[in-house]
């Protein structure tokens, strides 16, 4: 008779508990390691994986989930080519699939994918020659919105968030000769997402920014922060972190042009504090966007950076750049590609968009509503444009959901960790137009504290909604207490009143802090002309701008403006046939580069400094 082993109750209980949580434990054990953040990944030699990838559209995600919705561990994607004698019908065969370009959104590559929201599978082959004592990371500039990656059938990472870069270690999965990488990208919007279900921009899905392989030594520099001290004008301070670095190991930072060099030792947390005495440093500014070659080295690893050095702070209601008050003459910009439309992701896109901003007379751009890519930020450094960078905490997130807060903080970690050395960035924006509730205020206060912990050298802001009482507009959102600089959006003349309404509008502002009007404007179809009181004409849009300036000059704390918006951009919320055709038409320039009358109205005001506080 089979002996029944009677287990003590406690063990039985533990067994039951284990059985109950086993799937979750299995999922965690099977979960690939969390991606890491690399500062300055674009400064490292890389093997590009850009180009044509085989692509299979999989609306029911049956490639990853069974018909009982359990995650498959060895789904069909491991057998990407049908093999003779397969024990099952291979219906998903990458070798027979059409291709999609990477980096690019899928919406503007195929008519059938224009409105598509769901999973798409990508696959490409590549050859590789492993090197001794070298670790290899898959660098993904962005994948919107949720993405999974396998190399040679081994899961290497999973990531949520559509606008920040991440890096998955593939050292153990990659081998000499032929390899293949499979990715699943799902741009489905989620109520508990960041952003959430509703946005006023196109939900471009896919591997929307560059993908590459980056090789690093066994211990390597993953993050660093070098900036000019606010307190000591000739000191560059900061830190360098070395992944896997031993306490006491040496880090060096050198700026050859300044004949400056320093060495420091890693502390137990892998960080070395840096302090570099630089006498003849030329500070970065919009007028003199001076960048220095900076060599950061640790053991066998080094990075050749290009960094500008400046200080930014507030003093009362002033924003001080390099200790002097500045007025931010700006414009808002979405990452929409000029001419071809779709997700912007090339140097050419950046040069065109920021070139238009310079032509407008800007010293400032609000990169809405999510972190833009490194090409844009490198261009802003080169061209001397100050940047407002924004975490996509947009409109009505689930502010009472701790998982959503964790996602917002993860995206801040990636945004700030990747881009913290760009002199151009002066403002980290926590949010845009969020509802004034206690849960929202707590959420964003926590987010702001996290941002300050990550980077105490920049200013924290957010674009707030305003409220009105008759001809008076009021800025008293409690969130203002947590901000260094207060952004606010108003659409006098478009969503309320007419352009002339601005002439009689007064402002009541509960904060003695620097203010930026982060949005105003109205829609116009380029080339549509008529009376000034005829909506959608260029004349009407120009009238909105003309009437704004007098009102804005009556706001004593105003220290910047970023009207909405430089260029028309796609949005599913803008269907008006013959006028919008799925574009938000508030651009000063059409998506085809046609400058509207309002462009020249604002350009004149910026050039003659008739709007905004003269420095
Ligand atoms: C809002 C929002 C923008 C939107 C704009 C508009 O202020 O912040 O994302 O595009 O208004 O209505 O055009």
Residue 286's domain is classified under what CATH number? 2.60.40.10
Residues 245 and 145 in one domain: no
In the chain the first and final C-alpha atoms are separated, in Å, by 95
From 203, 433, 463, 518, the mutation candidate for ligand 1 (largest count of ligand atoms within 8 A of CB) is 433
Task: Give yes or no for residue 584 CB within 6 A of ligand 1.
Answer: yes
Q: Among 59-63, 120-124, 448-452, name the one with the lowest average pLDDT.
A: 59-63
* Sheet with strand 324-325: strands edge to edge: 312-315, 318-321, 324-325
Residues 525 and 381 in one domain: yes
All residues at 6 or more sequence positions from 406 whose CB lies less than 8 Å from its CB, including other chains: none
Residues 391 and 300 in one domain: no
Residues 510 and 365 in one domain: yes
Averaged pLDDT of the chain: 93
Residue 117's domain is classified under what CATH number? 2.60.120.260
- At 29, is the secondary structure helix, strand, or coil? helix
Neighbours of 82 (CB within 10 A): 16
Task: Give yes or no for residue 477 CB within 6 A of ligand 1.
Answer: no
What is the domain range of residue 501?
322-608
Residues 375 and 434 in one domain: yes
Task: Give yes or no for residue 334 CB within 6 A of ligand 1.
Answer: no
Task: Give yes or no for residue 150 CB within 6 A of ligand 1.
Answer: no
Q: How many structural domains does the chain have?
A: 3
Does residue 82 sit within a domain? yes
Residues 359 and 437 in one domain: yes
Distance between CA atoms of 174 and 41, rounded to whole angstroms? 20
Instruction: State the pLDDT at residue 168.
Output: 96
- H or E element in which residue 540 lies: helix 538-552
Instruction: Name the closest-CA residue to atom 10, ligand 1.
Output: 200
Residues 202 and 338 in one domain: no
Residues 453 and 600 in one domain: yes
Handedness of CA 365, 371, 372, 377 (dihedral sign): positive
How far out from the chain centre does Cα 307 lie? 20
Question: For ligand 1, what atom is nearest to the CA of residue 463?
Answer: 8
**Neighbour-count burial of 35, counting CB atoms closer than 10 A to its CB (0-12 exposed, 13-18 middle, 19+ buried):** buried
Q: Among 64-68, 150-154, 199-203, 463-467, name the one with the lowest average pLDDT.
A: 64-68
What tens digit of pLDDT does each residue of 70-114 get? 887 665 565 455 567 777 777 778 888 999 999 999 999 999 999
Residue 52 Cα to ligand 1 middle (Å)? 34
From 203, 519, 573, 582, the mutation candidate for ligand 1 (largest count of ligand atoms within 8 A of CB) is 519
Residue 499's domain is classified under what CATH number? 3.20.20.80
**DSSP-H helix ranges across 436-558:** 438-454, 538-552
Instruction: State the pLDDT at residue 32.
Output: 61
Axis-axis angle for helices 597-607, 538-552 (nearest 10): 30
Distance between CA atoms of 594 and 395, rounded to whole angstroms? 30
What tens digit of pLDDT does each residue of 392-418 get? 999 999 999 999 999 999 999 999 999
- pLDDT (mean) for 546-558: 97
Does residue 354 sit within a domain? yes
Distance between CA atoms of 385 and 103, rounded to whole angstroms? 25
- At 593, is the secondary structure helix, strand, or coil? coil
- H or E element in which residue 491 lies: none
Does residue 351 sit within a domain? yes
The DSSP secondary-structure symbol of 338 reads T
What tens digit of pLDDT does each residue of 240-292 get? 999 999 999 999 999 999 999 999 999 999 999 999 999 899 999 999 999 99
**Max Cα–Cα distance, the chain, nearest Å:** 99
Residues 464 and 577 in one domain: yes
């Amino acid at each position: 008779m089979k002996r029944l082993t009677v287990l003590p109750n406690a063990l039985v209980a533990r067994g039951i508990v284990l059985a109950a949580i086993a799937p979750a434990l299995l999922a965690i054990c099977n979960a690939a390691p969390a991606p890491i953040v690399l500062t300055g990944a674009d400064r490292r030699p890389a093997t590009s994986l850009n180009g044509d990838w085989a692509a299979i559209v999989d609306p029911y995600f049956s490639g990853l989930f069974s018909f009982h919705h359990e995650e498959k561990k060895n789904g069909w994607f491991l057998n990407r080519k049908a093999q003779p004698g397969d024990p099952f019908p291979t219906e998903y065969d990458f070798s027979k699939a059409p291709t999609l370009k990477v980096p690019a959104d899928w919406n503007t590559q195929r008519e059938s994918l224009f409105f598509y929201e769901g999973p798409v599978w990508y696959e490409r082959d590549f050859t590789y020659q492993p090197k001794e004592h070298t670790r290899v990371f898959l660098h993904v500039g962005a994948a919107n919105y949720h993405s999974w990656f396998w190399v040679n059938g081994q899961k290497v990472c999973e990531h949520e968030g559509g606008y920040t870069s991440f890096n998955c270690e593939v050292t153990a999965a990659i081998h000499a000769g032929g390899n293949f990488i499979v990715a699943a990208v799902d741009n489905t919007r989620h109520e508990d997402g960041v952003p959430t279900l509703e946005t006023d921009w196109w939900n471009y899905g896919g591997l929307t920014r560059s993908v590459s392989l980056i090789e690093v030594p066994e211990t390597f520099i993953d993050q660093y922060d070098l900036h000019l001290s606010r307190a000591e004008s000739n000191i560059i301070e900061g830190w360098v972190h070395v992944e896997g670095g031993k306490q006491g190991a040496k880090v060096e930072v050198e700026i050859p042009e300044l004949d400056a060099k320093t060495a420091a030792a890693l502390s137990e947390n892998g960080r070395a504090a840096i302090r570099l005495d630089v006498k003849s440093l030329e500070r970065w500014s919009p007028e003199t966007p001076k960048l220095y070659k900076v060599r950061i080295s640790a053991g066998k690893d080094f990075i050749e950076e290009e960094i500008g050095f400046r200080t930014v702070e507030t003093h009362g209601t002033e924003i001080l750049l390099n200790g002097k008050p500045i007025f931010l003459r700006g414009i808002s910009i979405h990452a929409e590609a000029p001419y071809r439309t779709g997700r912007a992701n090339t140097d050419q896109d950046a040069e065109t968009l920021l070139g238009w901003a310079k032509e407008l007379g800007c010293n400032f751009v609000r990169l809405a509503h999510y972190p833009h890519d490194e090409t844009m930020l490198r261009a802003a450094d080169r061209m001397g444009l100050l940047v407002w960078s924004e975490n996509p905490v947009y409109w009505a997130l689930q502010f009472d959901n701790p998982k959503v807060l964790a996602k917002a903080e993860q995206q801040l970690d990636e945004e700030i960790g990747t881009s913290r050395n760009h002199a151009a960035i002066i403002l980290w924006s926590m949010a845009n137009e969020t509802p004034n509730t206690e849960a929202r205020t707590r959420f964003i206060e926590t987010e702001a504290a996290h941002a300050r912990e990550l980077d105490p050298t920049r200013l924290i802001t957010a674009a707030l909604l305003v409220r009105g009482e008759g001809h008076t507009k009021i800025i008293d959102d409690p969130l203002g207490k947590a901000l260094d600089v207060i952004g606010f959006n108003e659409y006098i003349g478009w969503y309320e009143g007419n352009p002339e309404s601005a002439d009689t509008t007064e402002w009541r502002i509960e904060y003695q802090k620097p203010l930026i009007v982060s949005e105003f404007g109205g829609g116009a179809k380029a080339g549509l002309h008529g009376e000034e009181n005829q909506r959608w004409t260029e004349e009407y849009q120009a009238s909105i701008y003309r009437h704004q300036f007098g009102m804005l000059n009556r706001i004593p704390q105003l220290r910047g403006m970023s009207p909405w918006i430089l260029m028309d951009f796609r949005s599913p919320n803008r269907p008006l046939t013959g006028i919008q055709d799925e574009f938000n038409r508030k651009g000063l320039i059409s998506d085809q580069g046609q400058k509207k009358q309002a462009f020249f109205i604002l350009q004149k005001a910026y050039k003659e400094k008739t709007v905004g506080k003269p420095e």
